Chains A and B, each alone.
Chain A
């Protein structure tokens, strides 16, 4: 969806390296979600923000993962240090302002491979 821009689209890194994934939603959204998709576990909700504030990070696998949303138009998901089991596609999704029953709009995802 053109409303959510994720970068990088593909990242290959070595175990132990720091990885930063970025998400830029267009305006008009007040909630932002980070999901991880793998063959084994499907789509997992990692964390979500309302009005830039983290609401639920219970899905974050461990302390190696952190997410920030410094403003309404930018969020990052950081993995430090990365491990091979972090290999997955990471999606950012947003929800329109004022609608917590509405659909989410997804970015195209960032495919991470940790060697």
Chain B
């Protein structure tokens, strides 16, 4: 069965600095990878996805993610963090089947 791991419970960065939120995956077939963001008391919001093609995927709010097959990773990045980016971030994977599995989440805090 497919799974993802988010090795960091918490990531702290200063506003204006680049940020990275890490994710590694495990699937038996081709991976379909996703990032979501969750603000307090809200549902998950889709940020970006990798299905096939270019390994660098661009998404909403200036976020991007790099698919690395050899390292089985799909790290989320942003060149310049904003305080408003502070939220809970989830990596997720599908392997062509219908169910989507989520990581444990990483809490991003951006300090002014």
Contact = CB atoms under 8 A, between A and B. Distances in A.
Contacts of A31: 98
Contact of B104 (A1, A42, A107): A42
Contacts of B46: 103-105
Contacts of B103: 42
Contacts of A43: 90, 102, 105
Contacts of B32: 101
Q: Which interface class (under 10, 10 to 19, 20 to 34, 35 or more) fits B? A: 20 to 34
A43 B49 CA distance: 19
B96 interface: yes
A1 B43 contact: yes
B99 A101 contact: no
Interface string B72-110: 000000000000000000100010111111111100000
Interface stretch (A12-20, A48-56, A63-71, A73-81): A48-56
A48 B45 contact: no
Interface in A69-108: 91, 93, 95, 100-108
A45 B99 contact: yes
Query: Which of A101, A105, A106 has the most C-beta atoms of chain B within 10 angstroms of its own C-beta?
Result: A101
Contacts of A105: 46
A45 B101 contact: yes
Given A42-B104, A43-B90, A106 B98 contact: no
Interface residues of A, number: 26
B63 interface: no
B102 A106 contact: no
B14 interface: no
A56 B94 contact: no
B73 to A, nearest CB: 19
Interface in A28-50: 31, 33, 35, 42-43, 45, 48, 50
Given A42-B105, A43-B102, A100 B43 contact: no
Contacts of B44: 91, 93, 104, 106
A93 B46 CA distance: 11
Interface of B: 32, 34, 36, 41-46, 49, 51, 90, 94, 96-105
